Amino acid sequence: MSKLNAIITGGSRGIGYGIAMALAREGRNVLITGRRPAAEVEAARAALAAQGVQAEYFAADVADSEDRKALLAFAKEKFGALHVLVNNAGIAPKVRADILEAGEESFDDLIATNLKGPYFLTQAVANWMVEQRGQSSDFRGTIVNVSSISATVASVNRGDYCLSKAGVAMATRLWAVRLAEYGVGVFEVRPGIIATDMTSGVKGKYDALIESGLLVEKRWGTPEDIGRVVAMLVRGDLSYAPGAVLTLDGGLGLERL
């Protein structure tokens, strides 16, 4: 059987790379995207290819409609078929600001990259998957949206980020309903405090909070934790659960006395 093909946006580092590596280790061909030049990503791409799969990189900004079109054209050229989309690319606010004072520029940037981009990339991929389903009744697709506990946990100094992730949560539900009839499972993975370059600037803060009991499982989450869960979804191990949300937060959200 030929390998399944996957696109992982923001897949050259952090959570996205953890996901890409988990899929590659299970024999999936992977196309990772990001905004960096290809030369800066070559080591990551080569490590993925070393798992015995086809590993490609395409520089694209998911917030840009032309980049999204070019990405899909590249995927069709390199793979011919697509079975998996992982919407992982996202940005944090450049400056954290109280919602009483926050400006529109950061809001527009966050919504464009974290919500609008993946929403319309999903639309394009979904239409391709529907077409593939029409060609083969055995076709099964998987779309995974990587959001954040910030979809429901309020942070008043980064409201734009929280709103973007809450939007991703609803987008997951919408696409799950729309695509179920075509054999495409749509899921949301909601990470908590994960050790990546994006969170390196607040390491001291969260080290102290974790040590003082913020989490039930007293450690930072890792990209590998997220990768294992996405690989499980891609394998089809979670059945009868369209639109399911999997929260990986070390127990942060558990109510405790």
Q: What is the pTM of this model?
A: 0.97
**According to the model, what pLDDT value does residue 2 have?**
60
pLDDT in tens, 37-89: 999 999 999 999 999 999 999 999 999 999 999 999 999 999 999 999 999 99
The token duo for 237 is 């191990």
Which residue in 65, 164, 30 sits closest to 109, CA to CA?
164
Q: Which domains are present in the chain?
A: 5-248 (3.40.50.720)
Query: How many residues in the chain?
Result: 257
Residue numbers annotated as active site: 161
**How many angstroms separate the CA atoms of 220 and 54, rounded?**
31
**How many angstroms separate the CA atoms of 73 and 82, rounded?**
11
**Strand 55-59 versus strand 29-34 pairing type:** parallel
The answer to whether residues 124 and 72 touch, using CB atoms and an 8 Å cutoff, is yes
Question: Per-residue confidence of the chain (257 residues) as pLDDT tens digits?
Answer: 468 999 999 999 999 999 999 999 999 999 999 999 999 999 999 999 999 999 999 999 999 999 999 999 999 999 999 999 999 999 999 999 999 999 999 999 999 999 999 999 999 999 999 999 999 999 999 999 999 999 999 999 999 999 999 999 999 999 999 999 999 999 999 999 999 988 888 899 999 999 999 999 999 999 999 999 999 999 999 999 999 999 999 999 999 98
User: In this structure, which long-range contacts are made by residues 1-4, counting pairs with CB atoms below 8 Å and at least 24 apart in sequence?
Assistant: 3/27, 3/28, 3/29, 3/53, 3/54, 4/28, 4/29, 4/83, 4/84, 4/234
Rg value, the chain, Cα: 18
